[in-house]
Structure 1
Amino acid sequence: MPKFLLRLLGFSFILAAIPVISIGLISYYIASGDIEEKVKEGNMQVLLQTQMRVEQVLKTLEFTSLQYLNSPLVMESMNKDLSVDDFSEIRDLSKGLYNLQTFTGIREAYLVNLQKDWLVSFSIFRQFSTFTDHARMASYAQYPNSLFWMTGNLVNNEAQTNLTEATSEGTNSSSKVIRMIYKIPIPTKGQPKGLLIVEIANSELKELLSSNAKLGEVFLVNRDGYDFLAEGNTSDSNRAIHALVAERIIQTQEESGFFNADVNGEALGVTFRSSPYNGWLYVSAVSIKEITQQSRKIAWITFIVCSIIFVLVALFALYGSRRMYSPIKRLFEFTKGIEVEDQDNKDELVSIEKRFSTLFSTERRLQQQVIGQFSQLKEFFMLKLFAGQLSDSDFAYRSQTFGYPAHWKRLGVLAVQIDSLQETRYREHDKDLLLFAINNIVGEIISREERFSPILLDQSQVTLLLSSHEHEAQLKQQFYDIAEQIKAKVHEFLQLPVSIGISRPFERVTQSVLAYGECLEALKCRMSLGQEIIIHYEDIDAGKKMMEVTVYTQLKLMEDQLGNALKAGDQSAVDMIFDKYIAAIVEKGIHFNEYPVLMMQLIAKVFHLVQEQGGSVKHVLGKKATIEHFLKLTTLESIIKWFKAELFEPIISFSNQQAESQYMNIANQMIKLVHERYDQEISLEACASILNFHPVYLSRVFKKEMKVNFSEYLAEYRMNIAKTWLENTSWKVSEIAERLNYTNTTAFIRTFRKIVDMTPGQYRDQYNKDL
């Protein structure tokens, strides 16, 4: 058998074996890993869905309870001494409690007045001090939060017994419950007036947990590590799992995750999620044995399939190797006439390689020639021009080689320099790279027909421009427009302050050296005119005459900017603008004796700003913030310190306090308008007109304080009024829609169904049926 054919056949067998074996092993491990990952993902999704179901129920109950507490009926009742004679009002309070039943799991609800010593539930009214669970309920007033949940072994046997006797129902008095407690009023500061206590049966909440046995058991653990929904000995085993989860959370700081653990001799895969809403821990535990059971089946299936594939690939390799060798054999016979060393080599492919290598050696050498760097030569050519090392004839001859324009009427030079890297995101070592970026921007902005190659020279980016204009005004405007475009693009892409000097127009290209010097001379005017300027060389004298006016105009502009920053309470912006203000005074060479005259206007503006916000200058700024104290300062450093410490810091703090108190007041006024005008045309724009604020501002403030949009709050309130009318009146749906200022009954029904999850007619029928 020929040597190469034997190698090809052996290699084909090896090539077939390695992929098949590798694929089999990889497939098994990937499939096993995927099964475990799917179980992890499935368990995590189950926990997420369970958490969402449970928290949706709890949040719905909280929101419904908050609406009930904010109703005028409850707010007024908190200030009354109710007795059994106040039957109508007690009935309304009890009916409101009954309406809190967003799902069937609510066992009981209590409205407690701590100050007036009375209690109302679904079906009873009595003095709170005589209630059997009085001590425990009274202790809730000492908790710090206005809203909290109580879990654990909450079994109010005596209260449940009283409720059973009062209602003549056979409720199980030993059923465990979860309690939601609201302090009244909301928010509560100090001792509350009353409490709203809603009890949910543990059994009802447990029904919300997932019951998919294949994905493991799901259970809930409270902040104290207690599985408050467990029954019998289940709590002990769950407590062991919770201890492992707690240790995992402490080690990794993860709010959710998966890990394997050995609990009571059984290997488990534990998935957990920590709820930021109420601190409960959702945990699922599944047996590792069940997870890996399917992996063993996959291993056998993979082995059988890979064995079959290996046999088929081996047969194909044998057939294919013989077919593949036939063209190599013909090529070997064809190249026998080419003389090379070691003609007797038995490896056919090596012999063919040597023969072809001899044929193509010359071509390979030709392909290794060096490609010239054309762009670098063009840049070097322009550098020699600005260095004065080229004559007119040299430039005319060599410019044709680089494809430069040969005809123009006038020329000009633009020099771009970076003003400063302070207050930017760059550092001094970035300057060369920034100049290179500016050079690229210039090359992109200006077309090739209007310029020669842009170059970097010292600390400047320099461009030689050409123009078809002859009139001085047109040339000046053309060069200025190009400079303005460069400045804008540099600011857009690099956020970098630059200034641009423009030379006088000229005709001979060798005058570029003098023109570059004019650009540098023009850029020196930044010392008096400030940064980010575009200046022509011929305007230097006029700029000197306007220097004094420019100083005071610049200071006046910065005073206005400083006032706006103080109003906004932006400390960083205030410091930045004031530093520029001081630098402007110092850089213009103003005598120290003139500092007070210039700064008196700034001090007066700050005092006026305090008075605009309703504050007293003496009360807000303090005793040292006076003109007399300012005039005693003798150094620039002390003046700067006085402005920042005695003026700016107090007024920024005062502005922020005013803004925070205004937000809450505005939100309360908007809520009051909704409660008073729900049956009228009330909108965000109407509130803005009444309160004298912009609608967008009111929308942002209301959303921030109430955590809900204005339109959603208005719709919710109107639908609550509609439910009351549907329960207590015989008005038609169209009449109720009209009274709530809905011109279209269909729109009212659509809104009611979206919020209540049923039509008005269905709601009235269900309410009458419950009665």
Structure 2
Amino acid sequence: MNKGRMFNKIFFPILILGIGLVISFGSYIYLSTTSSVIERVSNSKQSYITQIKNNLEQKIRTIEYAFNTYSTTSSFNEVVKNPITEKDFQAYRTVNTQLNYIATMGLEGTEYTLISLDKNWQISNGKLSTLTEDDLNNLYINYIDDHDKGLFWIKTDQGIRFVNTLPVFSKRKIAIALSDISLQTLNRAIDTDEHNPVFILNGQGKLMYENDSSEQLFPNQLEGISQVLSTFNDSGIVTVDTINNKSVQLIFAKSSYNNWIYCTVLEQQEISDSLKTTKFGLITMGLVLILLIVVVAYVISIIFTKPIRRIQQSLPKNTHFSSKNEFESIMDSIDTILIEKESLESLIKAEMPQLETQFILNLFRNRVSPEELSRKMPRFGYQEVWDPMYVTMLIQLDNLGGREASDKDVLLLAINKIVEEFIPEQQRLLPIILNDDTQATILRFTEFSEQEIRRKVLDDAAALIKNVNDYLNLSISIGISKTYENLLESKEAYEMSKQALHQRLNLGKESIIFYEDISMVVSGPVLLYYPVELESRLFDAIRLGDEEQVSSTLHPLLADMMKKNNHSANFEVTLVRFVNNLIQLEQLLGVEVLLTQDNHALYHRLLDIRNPEEIERMLLEEVILPMVRKMKEKTNKQFRCLSEKIAAIVRSEYDQELSLELIGDRLHYNPSYLSSIFKKEFGTTFSEYLMNYRLEVAKKWLIETDMTIKEIAERLEYHNSQNFIRSFRKKEHVTPGAYRKMNLAD
């Protein structure tokens, strides 16, 4: 599994370093162990060769001592000065006994010989023999002539020979004592379980004994060894070359008794055999340590690259990571993040007013925790002050200044800007538009008393009302909360200011209302008043569709509600009752205005408006006038139909007794109602219409018939002819007779 370049950069150096340390440590231990083993083997060899030296030297000294002692006895002089033949058994036995005694003190298997130079006999290994002249000459040549010492050792083909010319301290030698130690005897005396090669050199460097010819040395090497070792102490180690051109180390021990040098070889094979266990242990330990280092290197690499992997996982999923260099990829990603961070910071800086606005909104909605408050206040540039006091100020429009309702948002923004410019930053938080009707500002004061704060707020509020009126031609009202010490209480302060603004229904427009001033009124008893008579007049005007009457009736109705209900809650209750009655009237009249989807929030809208003029405008323009217009549309058809029925009755029954009471009974309508709709439809009253129609009929009869004026008057339901003549003359400006004459003459 590909772990990445950083993993490899950590893993392999640790692995190589660890393996290097293991090899170095193992090499150090191996060299130290080798040195220790060599020292141990050398010490063992040294002890071994010293033991051989001591054992052999002891035997040699015993032999020499025995012969020297024997040579000083009187029996020795008698024996060697007398001839011994086969017949001299007693003398032979004496000599042989002495030789056997000496043999018991020396090395087992050593042959002892006593030679009499004067009497030419020798006893060797229990055998008596006679010497010839040549034998004697050879003895003198080999053992006496050219020998300064009377006691010495020589090497023979069978071993080494101890030569003691007797008497020891006499220049005239009369006997020779020989002790022949065979190679087998020397091998037995020297051989141990170690089977090490042993070399014995005499004082002149001549090889006296060797038990292993595999490590052969040159004669000149032997002399060189003797010369070199002469400068050393009694024991030590020296390196020499063999005839096989191999370098060997010799461990030696010098005899202080006869200057013999005992040597043995420190063989590499022996050292290697001793180091086999050590090598195996070191190799095993090295492999275990290397395996452990691999595990440790892997774990360390995983641990050290874990932050990198976490960073990679934290970066966007679409980030491309180069397998060659994770750091460069991460740095590229970090650079990208930093660029994005700078862009985001710029965006946040640009959006800081919006964020601050949301923060103030959350204060009014009680959605800010103490921790968030302490963290965000410095972020928005509000310095911490000692014992601050806060006041919430709400501003609402009293009217739109003749503008459209859609302009309200723009007007509130303009008011918010005026507040922002008029009140210094040190004395406020950011002014905001709280909702569709309200602008809110949290004022901040330090080192001000309650009276000073009230005076300052009152002055600022009055100046704001004047500025808004001057610049925007608007009237506004301002509600002001009690002072409070903790910004987390801003929601309660908002409710106070809102409740204060409710009272402008009673105080009128451009009011500055402190919650403290109206708190007693708010908590007072609730007494409801409802103007039933004024409502009835308004509803009659609605039924008739009379817009002028409606407009003139609504204002006194609302004014009476506000005047008689001092408590804002009372007015809200009466206002809700009035709207409910409007809905019931609407249902009775069969029109749909308040029940449509566009006016489902009418209650909330009316209760949120604290401006009497705005309430009257909304009720008139959005509720009542639409009802009147709907009624007009609906009743126009009814009026026309009823009017046509009345006119038809007049045209068909003009010569009978007619009145609105009679027609009302027939049509099941109130005569007054019929009179009003007839006049509205025909532009004249019923009686005038009836009189005019009858006069038209009279004019026709005067021209087309011979009926007298009295008959016409009676036919048209005039009680006497004089009333008919007056009515005719009033309309036509002539009498009926004159009218007939004028038309007949034509």
Same fold per superposition (TM over 0.5)? no
Rg larger in structure: 2
Q: State TM-score, norm by structure 2.
A: 0.33
